Amino acid sequence: MSKLNKLAELGQSVWLDFISRKLLTSGELIKLRESGLRGMTSNPTIFDKAISKSTDYDEDIRKLVSKGLSVEDIYEKLALKDIGIAADEMRQVYEETKGLDGYISIEVNPLLANNTVETIKQAKHLFTALSRPNIMIKIPGTDEGLPAITEVLGAGINVNVTLIFSTESYRKVVEAFIAGLEKYDATGGDIRKHASVASFFVSRVDSAVDKELEAKGNKDLMGKIAVANSKIAFEISEEIFRSERWKKLAAKGARKQRLLWASTSTKNPNYYDLLYVDTLIGPDTVNTMPPDTIKAFIDHGKLKSTLNEGIDEAKTQLKKLKELGIDINKITDKLLVDGVKSFSDSFESLLGSLQEKVKKIKQEVSV
């Protein structure tokens, strides 16, 4: 049995945090699936690198330009094609796990992160356009995103809530998830077929907190707060999914919204390369990793449930952080704002690169 499958036996699925046309057409995704990969996520930054930094999409772009499509429509066609191919390749996992895994995530336009109505509209559009059961629509966990999450889940659409950095935000996200399931159930929907994950970002927390710790001359807590923050989120998850409110839905066959650890590659070269993997293994969770992190885990990752370990230590570390005058809520609020901006910048960069390619193709045609 592969290492990724052994990890799944501990309750944690590995999803790939990457997508590209080459990955889909070279047979590499099939190899990963056969080695135990259980899903994939994408975001505007990933698509920006995939489309603008290669020629793999140029033939498709030429065909779409000839149809007179706008740059935004060309991007959507390219993204939907990739997501569709990936979903078809992972459909086997979806069937084998009875709908637990095998999902491919695509994000709504990040420029809509603060627009509830348009987020709902595009989420429904993307899900309908892809027309596959193993698709998840990514919606950011902003204040404006929360009602969209409830509405979209209430319409029978699988949702991956992204850009969650704080335990406070996580509570709100789970509330939105449960409300969405209740809404779908009230309309006669089959909540047994519903799936959702809450993407809780990890490494970026250390990147931000470490700067504050360094300024205060404290090295003891460096590289520890991101894991502590995540462990508390997991504790909250276990608490909520023991509630009477949840038990009513579970009795009808509803699945928990799993915590998905995002941003799990180690950014600081001084830290262990699997710091945000080995420490966050536990039941009902997903870890979405870039290719190199998956390779590293297969090579030397530890197969041991660790999420329920060190909870008291995590609380102590967060308490010490507060005593130092470092406000983690202020930091995570900024990380959310920065995360939305980063994805928005990537999206605009992608459209700019596509515009240049379209311009070049039109010039070639006119010659």
Query: What letter would DSSP give residue 152?
Result: H
- Those residues of the chain that have pLDDT short of 70 are 366-367
Q: Are strands 135-140 and 285-289 parallel, antiparallel or unpaired?
A: unpaired
157: which strand partners? Answer: none
Give me the pLDDT at residue 160, please.
98
Give me the pLDDT at residue 366, please.
66
CATH of 3-366, one of 3.20.20.70, 3.40.50.920, 3.40.190.10, 3.30.360.10: 3.20.20.70
Q: Which residues are catalytic?
A: 138
Q: Tell me the whole-structure pTM to 2 decimals.
A: 0.96
Angle at 167 between CA 161 and CA 170, to 5 degrees: 25
Q: pLDDT by residue (tens digit) across 342-366?
A: 999 999 999 999 999 889 888 887 6
Residues in the chain: 367
Q: pLDDT by residue (tens digit) across 56-76?
A: 999 999 999 999 999 999 999
Q: pLDDT by residue (tens digit) across 193-202?
A: 999 999 999 9
Let me know: does 354 contact 75? Beta carbons within 8 Å: yes
How far is the C-alpha of 160 from the C-alpha of 176, rounded, in Å? 12
Question: Would you list the domain boundaries of the chain?
Answer: 3-366
